[in-house]
Amino acid sequence: MPPTTVSRKLTVDDILDLRAYEKVRAEKKAAILETKRRRRIELGTIITVMFESRDTMWYQIQEMLRAERVISEDGVVDELRAYNPLIPEAGQLCATIFIELTSDAAMREWLPKLVGIERSLRIKLADGREISPVTDEAHDATLTRDNVTAAVHYIRFEFGPDDVAAFGAGPVQLICAHPNYLEAVELAPFTVAELAADLNH
């Protein structure tokens, strides 16, 4: 009988109420900034890719609840529904793509040019194999347009057992195959190690 896989998704019981969160917020923020440092990839000059985890999504939910002063269980459930899809299960990597534009002129130039960017990222393994992304279905339905892209996208990568082994052995590249934004970067060994843990546990 195969071993039972325990889901990593967050539940209402994992979320602190506002008063309890305030007591630990400074400590949690320092820890999560270090986690994000290991998981954040600068891809070229205007795109950042953040590989998400249970910890980063827990922090995101807590911060959203704090900012919006949400105290109802229904409000917590809404946030869980929004962010749980970005917690990777074993064999997955989940990522947020940020198009970092700081002016209206840059947005008018780049957002039309980068339509389809969320489908253009690849994880390239040492043997040349490339893992293509799966886009978030709910996000696609609301934000994807033919003539302009959004500044934030959510994607996941699905790995088979051989892919997981090759990833952990490294080296690994993150590449963008979009014709208007051809970029590639090799992941640091500490990032590969961090993400390999996502894939294996």
**Contact residues for 141 (Cβ-Cβ < 8 A; gap 6+):** none
Give the separation between CA 191 and CA 43, rounded to whole angstroms: 14
CB burial class (10 A; 0-12, 13-18, 19+) of residue 198?
buried
pLDDT value, residue 95 = 97
Give the separation between CA 150 and CA 114, rounded to whole angstroms: 9
- Read off the pLDDT of residues 111-148 as tens digits, 9 standing for 90 and up: 999 999 999 999 999 999 999 999 876 666 665 667 89
pLDDT value, residue 143 = 59
pLDDT at 167 over 60: yes
pTM given for the model: 0.90
Q: What is the mean pLDDT of residues 88-109?
A: 95
- Read off the pLDDT of residues 42-94 as tens digits, 9 standing for 90 and up: 999 999 999 999 999 999 999 999 999 998 999 999 999 999 999 999 999 99
Q: Peptide bond preceding 171: is omega within 30 degrees of 0, i.e. cis?
A: yes
Mean pLDDT for the chain overall:
92
Give the separation between CA 14 and CA 58, rounded to whole angstroms: 8
pLDDT at 5 over 70: no
Tokens 């990593």 found at: 8
pLDDT value, residue 201 = 72
Q: What is the mean pLDDT of residues 160-182?
A: 95
Label residues 157-171 b or e (16+ Cβ within 10 Å = b): bebeeebbebbeebe
Asked if residues 43 and 182 have their Cβ atoms less than 8 Å apart, the reply is: no
Written as one letter, the residue type at 9 is K
pLDDT value, residue 3 = 41
Written as one letter, the residue type at 189 is P
What H or E segment, with its residue span, contains residue 29?
helix 18-39
pLDDT value, residue 185 = 98
